[in-house]
Structure 1
Amino acid sequence: MSEKTGGSFARLKGDLFKDIELSNISRFRGELMGAAMLFIILFHVSLPRWDMFFGLRRMGNVGVDMFLFLSGVGLWFSWVRTPSVRHFMVRRFLRIYPAWLIAASLYYIPRFHGGSVAAWIDLIGDIAVNWDFWLHDELTFWYIPAIMMLYLFTPAYMELIRRHPIYRWLPVLMILWCVLVQYVTPIHAAVCHLEIFWSRVPIYFIGINMGESIRRKDTMDGASIWMILLTFAMTLFSSIFMEQNLHGQFPLFIERMLYIPLTITSILLMNRIFRRTPAWFNRFFSFVGALSLEAYLIHLHFILVYIPARWSYWPTFLVCVAITLPAAWLFARFVTWIARRLEEKIL
C-alpha cells in the first residue's frame, strides 16, 4: 500500500470513528428542518400502490417526526434562555397562529356554503383550532393543532425535568399509552381517532430531553457509529417492508414506534452529510427549513392538488417544490410582519 493510499485510509478511518458531536443537531437544525419538509412533500406526492418504490415514498412522513424532535430541542434552548411561561407561549403562538389563521381561512371559507348555526360553529371551530381533527380525525393541516396542543404542556414538562430529572423517562409511558389506545377497548373507543397525534407525542418530548445534552455539547463515542448504522438500517428497511407488503394490515402506531429510533439515527447520520456538503447545498436546505411552516401549510392543499394527476412522480415533486418555495417565502414575509406588530404590543 502506497504512503498516499495509507494516509487516505487512516484519515477515513479517523473520520469514521470521530466522536459524534450532539451539538451538530443544533448547528444543522435549519438544514435538517429543510430535509424534513422535502420528505413530507415526497410523501404527499401520490404513487400507485403497485409501484416498487411505494414503501419508500410512504416513509416520507418521518419528516413529521423529525419536525417534532427538532422542535423539542429548539424549545429547550429557548426555555433555558428565558424560563417564562408567558414569553414562551406568546413567542410560540405568534410564530404559528397568524399563518394558521390565514391558511385555514383560505381553505375552509371557500368550502363553506352556509347552513345551520351548528355549521357556522363548526366553521369557526375549524378555523380557530381545527376542532374536527380533535373530534373526528379530520387531517387537514393536522400537524398545526397538534403542535399547538403540545405547546400547552411543554413549559410544565421542561420545568418538571429540570427540577426532577427522573421524569425524563415519561416518554416511555407515552409509548405505553399508544399501546393502550390501540388494544384496551374502552380507551380505543374513546380516543383511537387521535392515533396520529398520540404516536407522535413521544418523539417530541424525547427531543426536549436531549436538548440539554445538545446544549452542553456532549459527545458520543465514535465507535457508536456502528450501532447507529445498524439501528438506522433495521428501522428503515423494516418500515419499508411493512409499507410495501403489509400496507393497511397493521396498526400505524407500530410503525411510528419504529420511527422514533429511525428519526434520531437519521438526524445523526444527516449531520455527517451536512458537515461535508458544499455551503450552497446547506444554504438551500436551511432556506427550505426556515420556510417549513409556511411550506407545510400551502404545498398540499393550495399547490399540489392543482398539478395534473397524469404527471409522473418526480416532475410533480419538482414543480411542487419550485412553486411552493417562492410562495412560502412571500407568505412568511407577510406573516412575520404581522407577528412583529403583535409582539410589539404584547411583549
Structure 2
Amino acid sequence: MYEEKNESGGQLLNIHRKEIFGFAALMIVFGHSQDFVHSVFPDSLVSVIGYGGIGVTMFAFLSGIGLWHSLDNNDDILNFYKKRIKRVIIPYFFIAIPFCLFLDIYVKKDAMLFIQEVTCVGYWINGRGAWYVAWLIPVYAAYPLYGRIAHNRNWLSAVLAIVEIIMIALIGIPIRFQSVAAATLAFLIGVFLAKFIKANSVWAIRGAASLILFAPVYFFGILRTQTMYVISFACIGISLCAILAVVLDHSIKSMKRMLAEVGAVSLESYLFNIYIISVSRIILKNQISSFVGVLTYVCVAIIGIALSLYVGKLEKRV
C-alpha cells in the first residue's frame, strides 16, 4: 500500500531519517563484500560494489542534521551525552568487546592490541578497528561546544568545510583517513543545512540532491585526485539521502517499515558486519576469494543484520 505525500521540502530528510539510515546500512554491508568477490565477479561489478562505502557518508550527513536538531530541541549538554552514550558507546562495547577478546586475546594473544581496538585508539595508530566509531566518538564529544557556537551561525560549518577541502588539496592526508575526511565533510554540510531543513526549505533538499553532479568528476576519471575523492564521496552520499527522502515519500509502507527497522540498528549492523568479517577471514584463510567466500559473505551479511535486529530489541527493554 502506498502512502500519501507528506511534505515537499527539507523536512523529508527528518521524516524518513530511519529509512535512509537503513538503506545506508545495507549499502555498507554490500560494500564490505568487495574482498570476498573480487576474483569471482567482473572488475566492473567489483568496483560498483566498493561504492557501498558511500553509505558511511550518508550516516555522517544525517548525524550532522540530527545533532543540530538535538541541541535545538534541548540544549542540556548532560542529556545530550546521556543519549549518545546509550546510543553509541554502550552498543559499541557490547558488540566490540566479545569479538576483540576472540580476535586479539584468543587468536593473536596480544592484550595491547585488544586495548587499542576496544578504545578505538588502534585506528588512529595503525588503521585497525571500527574507524567510523573512532571518528564518531570525538565528533559527538566535541559537538555540544561547537554546536553552541555555530548553532545560529550555520555559515561557520560551511567555512570549515571549505577549509577542510583546501587543506587536503594543499598538504594531502594518509589514504586510510580519506573516509574520515569524506565523513567529516558530509557531517559539516549536514550541520550547515540543518537550519534550512528545519524551515522545510525546498531548496535544501534540491540543493542536496543536485550534489550528485559531482559523481562523474571522480568516478568517470575526469579528475581523480584525493581532494575530488573526498568531495565526491561526501556529495554523493548527501545527494543519495535527499533523493531517497523524495522516493521514500512515495514508497510502499512495507518497504519503509523494513528499512526503518534496519535503520534503527544501523550502528549495530555496521559493527556486527565488520567483526564477523574478521572472524570469517580467520576461518576461510585462503578461500576468501573463492565461491566459498562469496557464500560465506552472504551468511555473514544475514547473520550480522539478524544479530543487530535482536540486539536492538534487547536495547529497547533496557
Match for 2:264: what amino acid? A
What is the correspondence of 1:274-293 to structure 2 with a 5 Å cutoff?
274-293=248-267
Change (3 A) 1:81 1:240: same
**1:150 matched to 2:142:** no
Shift of 1:31: 0.9
Q: What is the rounded CA distance, in whole Å, between the counterparts of 2:185 and 2:148 in structure 1?
A: 17
Q: What is the rounded CA distance, in whole Å, between the counterparts of 2:296 and 2:23 in structure 1?
A: 18
Match for 1:212: what amino acid? K
Shift of 1:238: 4.3
Q: What is the rounded CA distance, in whole Å, between the counterparts of 1:315 and 1:236 in structure 2?
A: 31
Deviation larger for 95-104 or 326-335? 326-335
**1:104 matched to 2:96:** yes
Match for 1:291: what amino acid? V
- The equivalent residue for 1:74 is 66
* 1:220-254 deviation line (CA, Å, top 9, x unaligned): 299x68x946x52x433444435xx99xxx65553
- Residue aligned with 2:44, SS: coil
Q: Is the 8 A contact 2:178 2:230 kept in 1?
A: no
Instruction: Report % sequence identity.
Output: 18
What is the correspondence of 1:193-204 to structure 2 with a 5 Å cutoff?
194-204=177-187
Alignment partner for residue 266 of structure 1, among 236, 240, 260?
Answer: 240
Change (3 A) 1:261 1:124: closer
Match for 1:256: what amino acid? V
- Residue aligned with 1:53, SS: helix
Q: Is the 8 A contact 1:55 1:240 kept in 2?
A: no
Q: What is the rounded CA distance, in whole Å, between the counterparts of 1:236 and 1:302 in structure 2?
A: 31
Shift of 1:157: 2.0
**1:124 matched to 2:115:** yes
Q: What is the rounded CA distance, in whole Å, between the counterparts of 2:147 and 2:168 in structure 1?
A: 22
- The equivalent residue for 2:45 is 53
- Residue aligned with 1:220, SS: helix
- The equivalent residue for 2:19 is 31
- The equivalent residue for 1:40 is 28
- The equivalent residue for 1:22 is 10
Change (3 A) 1:204 1:280: same
What is the correspondence of 1:156-235 to structure 2 with a 5 Å cutoff?
156-168=145-157, 169-182=159-172, 194-220=177-203, 228=209, 231-232=211-212, 234-235=213-214
Q: What is the rounded CA distance, in whole Å, between the counterparts of 1:48 and 1:120 in structure 2?
A: 33
Alignment partner for residue 228 of structure 2, among 254, 257, 277?
Answer: 254
Q: Is the 8 A contact 2:197 2:204 kept in 1?
A: no
Q: What is the rounded CA distance, in whole Å, between the counterparts of 2:48 and 2:14 in structure 1?
A: 27
Match for 1:322: what amino acid? I
Change (3 A) 1:165 1:214: closer
Shift of 1:332: 2.1
Change (3 A) 1:219 1:192: same
- Residue aligned with 2:75, SS: coil
Match for 1:28: what amino acid? H
Match for 1:124: what amino acid? I
Q: Is the 8 A contact 1:99 1:294 kept in 2?
A: yes
- The equivalent residue for 1:137 is 127
Shift of 1:23: 0.7
- The equivalent residue for 2:311 is 331
TM-score after normalising by structure 1: 0.75
The unaligned stretches of length 5 or more in structure 2 are none
Change (3 A) 1:317 1:200: same
Q: Is the 8 A contact 2:265 2:308 kept in 1?
A: yes
